[in-house]
């Protein structure tokens, strides 16, 4: 699981492919029936099957890529033998596990009641509601287990910081809080400020945390940390703005999830408040903010972070 430096002109596709392969291998390795559970027979096979279904073979893996990009940008001396490389990989997988668990729960009948995710039936459709609930719970728990290995690959100080960053981004001050606002806002008019706050929590917090966790595994200066926080916030909000746009401009096959769902459920979105043209312009403004933050960071290896920000805003699915 060593860190690999890609030489030559930066190619986001090649860079992403290399890291995605490592993330997929690590997730497949860590989400298995061999997971320690405190009992001799390991994790129940049916539960692990639902967990693997939820997290493997699908998704953009944007959050793990942001972790790895921020880690690379804040490394003092990139090296295949960097002792913090596995820490960054564990952080990348932990963030993806939290994201996957949130999707499992969000798709359930008590939340968004969706039947399609990542181009396949949602977990509760495939395995039943009880199994989906437990799979989400187990994925959340495993995320923090990955951040606290028995080996000394992550210092105890970094373990505590990473766990706090992830927990805050996922909890009432982050993703869960944003989802609660989202559910309470169905059928209600929101101001642009209120909508921005909802999405800052629901979507943006975990994306921003991905950037900051990657930096935690590196050696950033205080100025770089401040700039990366601005970058992460801008990318996080831009992701949701583009999501709102795609919900009305793309079809379900392209998105891999149900298109038009927000309008059908009378949910407030950037498109419903700002309109399509202004929403697209706002996404570009957020991209400019993100790139400006990178320029002010004092970091030299920010090509991946810049490329990911452009990908978020210019994506078609």
The tens digit of pLDDT for each residue in 94-120 reads 999 999 999 999 999 999 889 988 889
Is 3 a residue whose pLDDT tops 50? no
| Percent above pLDDT 70 for the chain | 87
Instruction: Report the pLDDT averaged over residues 265-278.
Output: 88
Give the start-to-end residue ranges of the domains of the chain. Answer: 12-314
Instruction: Report the pLDDT averaged over residues 252-257.
Output: 60
Summary mean pLDDT of the chain? 89
pLDDT of residue 262: 64
Instruction: Report the pLDDT averaged over residues 68-85.
Output: 76
Is 90 a residue whose pLDDT tops 60? yes
Is 78 a residue whose pLDDT tops 70? no
Residue 120, strand partner residues: 117
Pseudo-torsion of CA 43, 46, 52, 54, nearest 10°? -120
CA distance 89 to 26: 8
| Percent above pLDDT 90 for the chain | 73
pLDDT of residue 267: 79
Is 308 a residue whose pLDDT tops 80? yes
Which of these ranges, 128-142, 161-175, 183-197, 233-247, has the smallest mean pLDDT? 183-197
Is 63 a residue whose pLDDT tops 70? yes
Is 39 a residue whose pLDDT tops 50? no
Fold of 12-314: Farnesyl Diphosphate Synthase (1.10.600)
pLDDT of residue 112: 87
pLDDT tens readout for residues 285-301: 999 999 999 999 999 99
Instruction: Report the pLDDT averaged over residues 61-85.
Output: 82
pLDDT of residue 265: 66
């Amino acid at each position: 699981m060593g860190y690999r430096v890609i030489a030559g002109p930066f190619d986001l596709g090649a860079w992403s492919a290399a890291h995605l392969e490592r993330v997929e291998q690590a997730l497949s390795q860590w989400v298995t029936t061999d997971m320690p559970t405190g009992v001799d027979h390991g994790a129940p096979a049916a539960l692990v099957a639902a967990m693997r279904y939820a997290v493997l073979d699908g998704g953009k893996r944007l959050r793990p890529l942001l972790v790895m990009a921020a880690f690379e940008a804040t490394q003092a001396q990139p090296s295949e033998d960097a002792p913090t490389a596995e820490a960054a990989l564990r952080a990348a997988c932990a963030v993806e596990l939290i994201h996957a668990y949130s999707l499992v729960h969000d798709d359930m009948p008590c939340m968004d009641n969706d039947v399609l995710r990542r181009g396949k039936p949602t977990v509760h459709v495939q395995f039943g509601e009880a199994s989906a609930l437990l799979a989400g719970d187990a994925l959340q728990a495993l995320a923090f287990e990955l951040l606290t290995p028995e080996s000394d690959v992550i210092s105890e100080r970094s373990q505590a910081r990473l766990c706090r960053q992830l927990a805050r981004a996922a909890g009432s001050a982050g993703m869960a809080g944003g989802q609660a606002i989202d559910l309470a806002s169905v059928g209600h008019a929101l101001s642009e400020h209120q909508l921005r706050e909802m999405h800052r929590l629901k979507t943006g917090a975990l994306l921003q945390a991905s950037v900051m966790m990657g930096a935690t595994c590196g050696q950033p200066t205080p100025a770089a940390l401040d700039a990366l926080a601005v970058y992460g916030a801008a990318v996080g909000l831009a992701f949701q703005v583009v999501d709102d746009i795609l919900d009305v401009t793309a079809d379900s096959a392209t998105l891999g999830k149900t298109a038009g769902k927000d309008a059908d459920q009378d949910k407030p979105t950037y498109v419903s408040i700002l309109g399509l043209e202004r929403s697209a312009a706002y996404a570009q403004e957020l991209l400019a903010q993100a790139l400006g933050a990178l320029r002010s960071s004092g970091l030299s290896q920010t090509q991946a972070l810049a490329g990911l920000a452009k990908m978020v805003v210019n994506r078609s699915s």
